[in-house]
Amino acid sequence: MKQLTVFIENRPGRLGEVTEVLTENNINIVCLSLADTSDYGMLRMIVSQPAAACDVLSSSGFPAMLTDVIAVKLPHHFGQLKKLCGKLSAADVDISYMYALTSGEGAAIVLKTSDNEKAESVLSDEYTLMGAAEVYNL
């Protein structure tokens, strides 16, 4: 599954411009995470058409790229995230970053790890992994 990452300077209106480009091209934002430093921000998103979104943003002057991530359904129960983290660290997989995703009634997370393939195999017996097509169409 591809995540779209966009570099934006901390300047009023920049985030609005990104969403404008996406709206004009009929691209839906499924979920996002926006992190910032004092000078610039990084917008990480799951969108309906990642490759097309990356092209239109790049040609509109926004540095954009696609990164492999995984999406995992997480039951709405106490202690679930702790358990998931424990499984990954036991397998020696580092979590680079994560953010939440709503999937109908349940919860889910988007994860970028040091080894996505390993993370998927470690988690697959107990968790439901979400396919790219499923997530893009949420």
Give the separation between CA 28 and CA 12, rounded to whole angstroms. Answer: 22
Question: Interface residues for another protein in 3-22 (CB under 8 A)?
Answer: 3, 5, 7-9
Q: Is the dihedral of CA 110, 123, 68, 118 positive or negative?
A: positive
Please state the closest distance from residue 62 (CB atom) to another protein, in A.
6
Among 25, 28, 33, 67, contact with another protein (rule: CB under 8 A): 67
The secondary structure of 87-118 as a DSSP string is HHHHTTPPEEEEEEEEETTEEEEEEEES-HHH
Q: Which is nearer to another protein, 62 or 136 (CB)?
A: 62
Cα separation values, 64 from 5, 52, 81, 118, Å: 5, 11, 30, 26
Binding mask 99-128 for another protein (x = CB under 8 A): -------------x----------------
Site string for another protein, 78-97 (x = CB under 8 A): ------------------xx
- Residues lying near another protein in the complex (CB under 8 A) are found at 3, 5, 7-9, 35, 37, 39-40, 42, 44, 58, 61-65, 67, 96-97, 112
